[in-house]
Each structure stands twice: as structure tokens, then as C-alpha cells.
A and B are shown apart, each in its own frame.
Chain A
Amino acid sequence: MFGYYLSLALRGLRRNPGLTTLMVAAIGVGIGASMTTFAVFRAMDGDPIAYKATQLYVPQIENWDPGVHSLNSSVGPDGLSDALSYTDAVALMRAHAAPRQTVLYETRFAVTPPDPQLLPFQAGARAGYADLFAMFDVPFAYGGPWSAADDQAHAPVAVVSRALNDKVFGGGDSVGKVLRLDGQDYRVVGVLRDWNPVPRYYDLQDAFGLLPDDVFVPFTRAIDQHEFTGESSNCSGPQVAPGWSGLLQSECVWLQFWVQLPTGAAAARYRAFLQHYAQDQQRSGRFHWAARTRLRDLRQWLSYEHVVTNEVRMMVVVGFAFLLVCLVNAMGLMLARALFRSTDTGVRRALGANRGAVFAQGLIEAAVIGAAGAILGVGLTALGLAGLRALLSREALVLARMDLPEVGMAVLLAIAAAIAAGLYPTWRATRVQPAWQLRAR
């Protein structure tokens, strides 16, 4: 029966090529617009480390006086800043209240290649603790992370990206080689495989940053060397003392902090620990207020930090509103078509087809239109993504692309949309009185 309806549908659609083209175009254009924007949204909203999303947490501590209204880019809508001061970060590291934890901050190194023919160049870098590699599932090609002892010893060791290893050492196992960073010698302990999570969830200040992380060094070492902290340090009020030691003593926030907590119970314990820590700071006189603390998991953190830009959100809304217009349009056209062909329907009914059969056939026709629209829509989505790549900056770097799931979704959406649009027109067609239609001619 299905095959018969299908051939009927195809034959019927061929009889009104103009209307059919319009309907297919409407569905296709709508799918193209909505799927293009949705692909970008998905790429930005992606969960780069999904299975750990509920194990990785970010603590926040209210180390700025909530009574003083501070206008600062690092302060979220809840008045808490999204990074920690050196004092708090070091205290949390010392407390070691989670199975794994790390401080992180972004810096950069001038790398001097051993080959004197090559000019020094700049490399993006991350200072952290040894735990970071296990926490973020960083894959190694050679060697491995530095040890906790290296962290303690402020050791000059480094883990390098595959790209940097290729550039400086010409690839291969470079473990044990010496890398010159900002004029200091570091021993390479590990070389990574390709690793570039998008968005770069462990530092949302720079979620779609241009400079990849090519070097990882122990936090303790980077602090000793006064390694550049970038422009991402935010201060409320003056630094007590000038220079680097002033920054370390200050309430400026510039450090990311991550903890890994395996269970909800562990998270609850860590929350209690944080609150306890804040109360201690209040007792010791550092905070003159009851400081709030927060512990957000990765998913909550991504939404708290507004990873998806307003431009993209707006485009998604416009894309789907556009799809809705296209559907209403297709529905109008289907209605017109169904009424155009009420004579056919009358004949079929008179020849014994019941309402259910007419209804099923109408819906199959709608589905065929949807499928044709899907083909057009997938093509337009590819075109739309290419257009976005040419027009937008960071969104383009996110590598929004169409994989099998996106294509599958586009096809399903198109067919579902076409059937939804076809429901009423088809139902209208079933109300045709056979006798009436036959009499007219």
C-alpha cells in the first residue's frame, strides 16, 4: 500500500510542478536557515568532555566587598568574580580537599629554537599542576605529565604540544630534550597528541582564542619566574604593593581553579569545605563580610560564562522563526493544492477509498515534499555555513560543520515539518463529498 501511495504521490506532485517547486523550496529554505544557525549553536554549546561534565567543578569565592559596588568585567550577574586571587588559589591547593585539583593561568613564552637559524617565536602557554593532565584527559604521544614532586620542587619541566614539537624539534620523541623558554632552560617531559577542545572550556575568558596552548609548565615555576599573566587580571581597588609580589598579595583575581569530584556527595563535602574556608577568612579579618562561595559543575559553568554569544543566540531564534514562516507558507500551498485536486479525491472516494486511505496518501505526499525539501535544505545549510565562515570571526573558528547527526536531524526535521504542515490540508481533503465533486463536471 505504501509503495502505491508513494507512486501516487510522485505522480500527483508532477502534475502541479509550479506548486510542488514552491512547497519544496519553502521547506528547503526554512530547513537551511534553521539548521545553519543550529549547527553554529551546537558547535559553541558543545560539551567537549561530556562524560566528565558532572565531575569537573569550578569554585568561586566572594573576595571583594559586596558592599562596594564594583564595576568589573570579571564579575558575574550574581556579584561573584569568575576567577580566584593568588591567596585563595594557593590556599585551596594546599588544602587538597578534592582528589584532584589544579590552578590554571594563561601565559605566553618566547621560544628560542635550538637551531640558531630559526628566529625566536611566541607560544601560548598554560601554568598548572600535574593533576591537570588527568583531569582534562590530555592525550600524550610521548612521555607523560610531570610529577607532584616537580610541582613541589618548582622544577623547570615542560609538556609541549605536537605542533610545537614538530616546529622546534622536527617531531619525534623529544622527552628529555631541552626547550628554551623566555631565556630559561626547561626539560621536556611529555609531548601531546593533537588536543584542542572547542570551546576551550578550561579557560572561558578565551574560549575561542587564537593562540593555542603549546606549552604547559608547573604553576609554581611560572610564579617564580614572574611569567606574564596577560590582560586577564581584574582588581577591585588598588594593589597594596607594587609589582609582582604586590599582585600575589593583592585581591586581584586572575587564576582559574578546577577540582575533580567523583560523586555528588563529594561535591557536597567540597561545598561545605569552601564555605568553611570563607568563614575562616572572615574570622581572620581578611573579609569584613560573610563571603559567599559557589561550586559549579562544567555544564553550569559554561552557561554561567555565556559561552554562546548573543549574536549566535539571535541567529538561532531568527533561523527557527524563519522556518516557522516557511511552514505556514507550505501549509497554505498544500491547502491550495488539496482543494485544487478535490475532484481527484472525489473520484477516489467514489471508487471506494475510505477517509483513512485518503488521509494516509495525503500525508505520504507531504512527506515526499519534506524529503525533497530536506535535500535542498542540507545543500543550503552547507552553503549557509560557508557563508557564515566568510562573514563571522570567532564563530567561524569554532568549526561549525555538518556531520552525519546534523544531516540526519535536518532530514527528520524537514519531513516532520512537512507532515505537520500537511495535517490540516489533508484532513480538509478527506472532508470532500464524493457526490458533490462528481456532479460538478
Chain B
Amino acid sequence: MHVHPIFSAMRRNKVGAAVIAAQIALTLAILCNALFVIQQRLALSARPSGTNEPDLFAIANEWVGAAGDPVARVQADLALLRSLPGVAGAYVTNAYPLTGSGSTDMLSLDPEQLRAAPAAQYFGDEQTLRTLGLRLIAGRNFRAEEVANLGTSDSPHYPHPSGLIITQTLARKLFPDGDALGRGVYYGGQHSTTPIIGIVERLQVPWTRIGGWGSAWNDSSIVVPFRYVAQGAYYIVRAQPGRLSALMKSAPRRLVALNHDRVIGRVQSFPQARTEVYRDDRGLAVILAVVCAVLLVVTAFGIIGLTSYWVAQRRRQIGIRRALGATRLAIVRHFQTENLIIAAAGSIAGITLGAGANLWMVSSFATARLPLVYLLAGVAVVLGLGQLAALRPALRAASVPPAEATRTV
């Protein structure tokens, strides 16, 4: 295969070749970055929350007025929920995973908070671990008598929790050199330490936004033995398999029947929460995938258009080459190689452009660095696309009869 005739042909079509190369460069730059973002977002939205999502739902409850003993009415609610047929567990809390809203505490190894680690705090009781389906890998669960009440605005003191259950990730972060179980940490700005009594395998923080609050410590959570009796709180209910949707309808009705002085807010299943909280991430992935697909089609048609023109323009030359003995295959190879050379040049520019675009995204959107494999995959795709797009015009060129050489002049 001689590349010399290809180069001399290209020299006569500098702009056309440059246009194709530019298009391939831009396509490559967009493609590899978009593929990377898609992969990131899909991986993000597939992270496990650590809970038994399919059987869980939350009821937002808000008390109206100050009637009744705040602790007694919550305990009555919990007793009711736990007695309902089909309920495998229930507790009251301030927040739950996959919602994007919760509260943070700085756990510290010293009272000055110099060595502190942030963690999402979930209030719960002795039923929380069982309800959420968290796997305890060390230590023990709370005992019923260890659970204190929290959330009445007139309570004279902040209760000091009897102990904390923390995630494995957080345990490693706080005590990188060893066993966290039984060690004390400063929680909630208290002046004395609280012992870590249990470690669970995994419990995600409520926040899920990429680069947002909590993204750097996504698995650092604590369960605090507080019964959250505040004005507004969530009941988390675990249904027995298959009973979820029926319970989501009946449980709120039973609560209202028990006590009218309330507003039932949102009743949300954990699978719904997951869909909603990751909606933008999946949406972005879908949009980028559509853009990439359309982009490849547009680029392919651009290549087909220009290459067809070149074929038409050079019919006579092709005829001469055929008359001089070139095979059809040689003609096809001429156009395919021409396309490969242009696409390769475009790819080199595209790699630079793509890497530059990524650097800019790193600085302005706090995304991660583009791994090399995406650039290589992008190069493979655009080179393949170019070959595919050039094939039809190349075959048309190969069908030019040698007699074309004698047509004119």
C-alpha cells in the first residue's frame, strides 16, 4: 500500500480533510468526557445504602399543637405500628438515607475538636438495626433501657447518649490503628466521651450529590440511642416481604385513628426515595448517552458526505488507476486509508482537547480526572466510526469502471 498518492490527493483537499479531522477531534473530546460522566453517575446511583430497601418505608409525622405528653404519644404510635400485622420492625427518627437531608455531627477524639470526623447522625432505638437490616459486625445493639428521649424543647438537659453504633468506615477513620469498639469519642459537643458499643458494616449518609455535602464521607454514619419525640419526625417501618404497599396505605390511617392531633406528611418507600434522590444523576447519564448517540450519527453523516464528494470529484482519476491495473480492493483501501490518516490526526487533536476539557471540568465542576482508558476507548470508537462511514463511498469508488478514464478529454 502506498500512502504517497493518498497524501498528494489530500493536499488538494486540505480544507475538506481539516474539516473532517476537526469534527473527529470534537466528537472524541465530547465522547470520552461524556462516557466518563455517564459511568460516574451510574456508579454513584448504584451505591448501596446498607439498608434492606425493598421492605422499608417512612411516614413523615407532625404533631399539631402541644396537646398530650410528647413522649407518651410517640410511644403509643410505636406500639401501634409494631403491633400491625405484616410489620417486621419500626422506630422513630430524624432522618433516613436516600433523602438528601439530615444532620451532621463532628465526632472528635479530643474536646477541642482538633481531630474530628464528620458523620451523619440517625436517631434510633433498640429496633433500628433490625428494622433497617443493618449488619452488626462487632459489639452489640442498644438495649431498650439505654434509649433516651430527645426533641422536647423544654427538656432541661441534652441527654448524654449511653453509647454509639458507628459504621465500619467511620471506625477506621477515627481509629486507623485498631479496634474502635469500646473507645470513647466526643459526640454532640459534650464534655465527656461516649463509648462506641457497636460497629455496623454499612450505613450511607442521607446526602448523595456528587461533590456535595457528605460526598467525601459517604459511609460515615452513626446511630444515636435517642427516641426522637420532636414536633416533626419520621417513623421508619419495615414490612414483611410483599406487605410494603398495603402497609404504606393502612399504617398512616391507623395512626390518624389513634390520635387526630397530627398531620401525616409524605409516606415514602425507600425504593421511591432512591429513584428520586438519584433522578438527576440518572437523567444526566441518559441525556449524555442520547447526545453521544446523535453526535456519532451526525459525525458519520458528515464523513459520508465529504467522502462521497471526493469520490465524485475523482471519478476520472479512479478510472485511470483502474485502467492502469489497480484492483477494486486497492481503490477501497485508498479511501479507507485516507480516512484512517485523517481520523488519526483528528484523534491526536481530540485527545488533547478531551484532556483539556476534563481539566477544565475538574476545576469548575469538581469532577474526577479522566482515566486514560476513556480516551483510548474514545479513539477506538471514532476510528471505527470513520472506517465504517467511509466504507459506502469507498465501495462506490471501487465500482467506477476503468472506462471512465476515457470518458473526457
Among candidates A228, A319, A336, residue contacting B16 with C-beta atoms closer than 8 Å: A336
* Size class of the contact patch on chain A: 35 or more
A336, B309: Cβ atoms closer than 8 Å: yes
Which residue of chain A has the shortest Cβ distance to B281 in the bound complex?
A311
Check B280–A395 contact: CB distance below 8 A: yes
A55 contacts chain B at the CB level, 8 A cutoff: no
Shortest Cβ distance from residue B95 to the other chain A in the assembled complex, whole angstroms: 8
* CB-CB nearest in chain B for A439: B409
Q: Is the interface of A mostly helix, strand, loop or mixed?
A: helix
Q: Contact mask B18-49 → A, CB, 8 Å, 1/0?
A: 01101100110110001001000000000000
Q: In the complex, what residue of chain A is closest to B118 when comparing beta carbons?
A: A71
Q: Which of A195-203, A212-220, A234-242, A348-356 contacts B (4 or more CB under 8 A)?
A: A234-242
A339 close to B (CB within 8 Å): yes
Chain A residues with CB below 8 A from B211, complex form: 310
A110 touches B263 (CB 8 A): yes
B156 proximal to A (CB < 8 A): yes
A residues 152-199 near B (Cβ < 8 Å) are 182-184
Q: How far is the CA of A285 from the CA of B263 in the complex (A)?
A: 45
A414 within 8 A of B: no
Which A residues, 374 to 395, have Cβ-Cβ distances below 8 Å to chain B? Answer: 387-388, 391-395
Is A332's CB under 8 angstroms from B305's CB?
yes
A26 at the interface (CB under 8 A from B): yes
Whose C-beta in chain A lies nearest to the C-beta of B26?
A325
Query: Complex Cα distance A243/B291, Å?
Result: 52
Give the residue of B30, B64, B287 whose beta carbon is less than 8 angstroms from that of A182: B64
Given A238-B189, A332-B306, A428-B15, the answer on whether A392 and B26 have CB atoms closer than 8 Å is: no
Complex interface: chain A residues within 8 A of B271 (CB): none
Cβ contact of B153, chosen from A22, A226, A309, A331, cutoff 8 A: A226
How many angstroms between the C-alpha atoms of A311 and B280 in the bound complex?
Answer: 8
Q: Does B113 contact A (CB under 8 A)?
A: yes
Partner of A325, one of B30, B101, B210: B30
Q: Does chain A have a CB within 8 A of B204?
A: no
A1 lies within 8 A of chain B by Cβ: no
Q: What residues of A have a CB within 8 angstroms of the CB of B103 in the complex?
A: 231
**With A183-B66, A238-B188, A321-B26 given, is the CB distance from A73 to B299 under 8 Å?**
no
Give the number of residues in B that approach A within 8 Å (Cβ atoms): 76
Candidate in B102, B190, B291 with the most chain A CB atoms within 10 angstroms = B291
**B265 lies within 8 A of A333 (CB):** no
Return A362 CB to nearest CB of chain B, in Å: 15
**Considering the chains assembled together, what is the distance between the CA atoms of A311 and B366 in angstroms?**
11
In the complex, which residue of chain A has the Cβ closest to the Cβ of B150? A242
Question: Which of B158, B299, B408 is the one whose CB lies under 8 Å from A329?
Answer: B299
Residue of A nearest to B207 (CB): A73
Taking CB atoms, residues of chain B closer than 8 Å to A428 are 15
Interface contact A22-B305, CB-CB below 8 Å: yes
Contacts of B188 in A (CB 8 A): 238
Given A68-B113, A239-B189, A332-B16, residue A110 in contact with residue B63 (CB < 8 A): yes
Pairwise interchain contact A110-B309, C-beta atoms closer than 8 A: no
Confirm or deny: B249 has a beta carbon within 8 angstroms of a beta carbon on chain A.
no
Cβ of A33 under 8 Å from chain B: yes
* A232 closest partner in B (C-beta): B101
A185, chain B: closest CB distance, angstroms: 11
Q: Which residues of A contact B290 (CB under 8 A)?
A: 387
Is the CB of B308 closer than 8 A to any CB of chain A? yes
Selected from A19, A22, A73, A314, the residue in CB contact (under 8 A) with B213 is: A73
Nearest-neighbour CB distance to chain A for B338, whole angstroms, equals: 15
Whether B153 and A244, one on each chain, are in contact in the complex, defined by CB atoms closer than 8 angstroms, is yes
Residues of chain A within 8 A (CB-CB) of B20 are 332
A322–B295 CB distance below 8 A: yes
Contact A388 B190 (CB under 8 A): no
Query: A71-B118, A238-B190 given as contacts; is B288 within 8 A of A243 (CB)?
Result: no
Distance between Cα atoms of A68 and B19 in the complex (Å): 56
Whole-angstrom distance from the CB of A35 to the nearest CB of chain B? 14
Q: Which residues of B contact A242 (CB under 8 A)?
A: 155-158
Indicate whether A416 reaches chain B with its CB closer than 8 angstroms. Answer: no
Smallest Cβ-Cβ distance to A326: which chain B residue: B298
- Chain A residues with CB below 8 A from B106, complex form: 71
B133 on interface, CB distance cutoff 8 Å:
no
Q: How far is the CA of A323 from the CA of B354 in the complex (A)?
A: 16
With both chains docked as a complex, state the minimum distance between the C-beta of A397 and any C-beta of chain B, in angstroms. Answer: 11
User: Which of A183, A237, A311, A337 makes the CB contact (< 8 A) with B284?
Assistant: A311
Question: 0/1 per residue, B283-326, Cβ < 8 Å to A?
Answer: 11011101100110011011001101100110000000000000
Contact digits for B366-408, partner A, Cβ 8 Å, 1 yes 0 no: 1000000000000000000000000000000000000000001
Most buried by B among A183, A321, A335: A321
B65 at the interface (CB under 8 A from A): yes
Contact of A183 with B64 at beta-carbon distance under 8 Å, contacts A33-B291, A313-B365 already known: yes
Q: Taking the nearest CB of chain A, how far is it from the CB of B232, in angstroms? A: 6
Contact of A110 among B37, B62, B155, B189 (CB under 8 A): B62
Which among B190, B280, B294 is the interface contact of A33 at CB below 8 angstroms? B294
B26 near A324 with CB under 8 A, answer: yes
Q: Would B365 and A424 count as touching, CB distance under 8 A?
A: no
Bound CA–CA A321/B213 (angstroms): 30
A249 CB within 8 Å of chain B: no
B276 within 8 A of A: yes
A-contact bits for B53-75, CB 8 A (1 contact / 0 none): 00000000011111100000000
Which chain A residues lie closer than 8 Å to B309 at the CB level?
335-337, 339-340
Q: Is the CB–CB distance between A328 and B26 below 8 Å?
A: yes
Nearest-neighbor residue (CB-CB) of A238 within chain B: B189
Asked if B291 contacts A331 (CB within 8 A), the reply is no
Once A68-B113, A239-B189 are accepted as A-B contacts, the answer to whether A310 and B365 lie under 8 Å apart by CB is yes
Contact A391–B279 (Cβ < 8 Å): yes
Does B104 sit at the interface, judged by CB under 8 A? yes
Say whether B262 contacts A120, CB under 8 Å. yes
CA distance A231 to B232 in the complex (A): 11
B177 at interface (Cβ–Cβ under 8 A)?
A: no
B145 within 8 A of A: no
Q: Which of A237, A319, A326 has the most CB of B within 10 A?
A: A326
- The answer to whether the Cβ of A61 comes within 8 Å of any Cβ in the partner chain is no
Q: Which residues of A contact B27 (CB under 8 A)?
A: 325
Interface flags, A241-276, vs B, CB<8A=1, else 0: 011100000000000000000000000000000000
- Is A440's CB within 8 Å of the partner chain B? yes
| A7 at the B interface (CB under 8 A) | no
Known interface pairs A73-B213, A238-B188; A314-B305 also in contact (CB < 8 Å): no
A82 to chain B, nearest CB (A): 13
Inter-chain contacts of A108 with B (CB < 8 A): 62, 232
**CA gap between A321 and B95 in the complex, in Å:** 41
- State which residues 18-69 of A face B: CB under 8 Å: 19, 22, 25-26, 29, 33, 68
Q: Could you list some 22 contacts between A and B, CB below 8 A?
A: A26-B302, A33-B291, A122-B263, A183-B66, A183-B67, A228-B232, A231-B101, A237-B189, A238-B190, A239-B158, A310-B210, A310-B211, A311-B281, A311-B283, A313-B364, A321-B30, A321-B357, A322-B30, A332-B305, A336-B308, A387-B290, A391-B287
Nearest 5 pairs of A and B residues by beta carbon = A238-B189, A183-B65, A336-B309, A391-B283, A329-B302
- Not counting A311-B283, A336-B306, a sample of 18 additional A-B residue pairs whose C-beta atoms are within 8 angstroms of each other reads A22-B302, A25-B301, A71-B118, A110-B62, A110-B63, A182-B65, A226-B153, A243-B153, A309-B280, A310-B366, A318-B34, A321-B29, A325-B30, A325-B299, A329-B301, A332-B23, A336-B309, A441-B408
Q: Which residues of B contact A (CB under 8 A)?
A: 15-16, 19-20, 22-23, 26-27, 29-30, 34, 37, 62-67, 95, 101-104, 106, 113, 116, 118, 153-158, 188-190, 210-211, 213, 231-232, 256, 261-263, 265, 276, 279-284, 286-288, 290-291, 294-295, 298-299, 301-302, 305-306, 308-309, 312-313, 357, 361, 364-366, 408
